[in-house]
Amino acid sequence: MAQPEEKITLAHVLRLVDQLSPEDQLELRLELDSREPNVTWSDVSLEDPARRAVFFKQLLAKAGKRAKYAFEKLQSQGILDEKGNLLKSELPADMQPGSNCDVGG
C-alpha cells in the first residue's frame, strides 16, 4: 500500500531556500515579486485622491524593492560594501584604455 504524500509546508520551502546561493535567493525573490499583480496607470483614477495615494504607495514600494535587490546583487558580486561604498575601481578589460572594443557611433 502506498504511503500518503507528505504535505509541503512553508517551513520545508524556507529550509530549501536557505540552501540556495545568495544569487539564487535574489533571483527567486525577483521572480516571486514579478508575479505580483502589476499596478498600472490604467488601474488608477487620478481624480480619486484615496486611490491615487494607494497607487503611488504601491509604486514607491516596488521601486524600493528593486533598488534593494540591485544593491544586494552588487554586494554579492563584491562591487559594493554593506554601506554602499565602491569596492572595485578598476574598469573591465573592454573599457580599459587601448582596448579594441568599439561601442559604435
Query: Which comes out higher in pLDDT, residue 36 or 62?
Result: 62
Q: Which residue has the cell 514579478?
A: 34
Q: How far apart are CA 98 and CA 96, in angstroms?
A: 6
Q: How far apart are CA 25 and CA 73, in angstroms?
A: 10
Hey, what amino acid is at 10? L
* pLDDT, tens digit (0-9, with 9 covering 90-100), for 4-47: 677 888 888 888 888 888 888 878 877 777 676 666 778 777 88
Element (H, E) at 30: helix 22-34
